[in-house]
Amino acid sequence: MKVVNIVNGNFSRTSGFLAVKEFLKKELPEAIVCANDRMAFGLLEGLKKENVRIPDAVRIIGFDNQDIATLTSPPLTTIENPFFEIGKLSTSKLIHFIKGMDVKSERVASKLIIRESA
């Protein structure tokens, strides 16, 4: 998949809503991945106001899996990051580092939560 357009925002619902103007200046991409669920919610609102059918015309994906993701219409596909697990792992590694122990990099898996927006 090639990146068609990058639109900057400030992680707010309003910035997602305002991004619609930028996306409509060109042909809509197949999918839009937002920096968080709030931006995706604003984008959904703005696109629906312009009569863009989701997911028929464009698929929308958020990031965070916030409670709001299940309340949107259509419900938002999102990427869930295990923030609690990341915090626990980071704290453990920091303690090991402070004690002078060897600390290795680890990856924590994200999870795609598929709903109706994509």
Query: In this predicted structure, what is the pLDDT of residue 39?
Result: 95
Residue with tokens 């103007």, as numbered in its chain: 21
pLDDT at 1 over 80: no
Q: What would the DSSP string read from start to end of 64-117?
A: S--GGGGTSSSPPEEEE--HHHHHHHHHHHHHHHHTT----------EEE--TT
pLDDT at 3 over 70: no
Query: pLDDT tens digits, residue range 11-44?
Result: 999 999 999 988 888 888 889 999 999 999 999 9
pTM for the model stands at 0.81
| Domain boundaries, given as residue ranges, for the chain | 13-82
What is the fold, at CATH topology level, of the domain defined by 13-82? Rossmann fold (3.40.50)
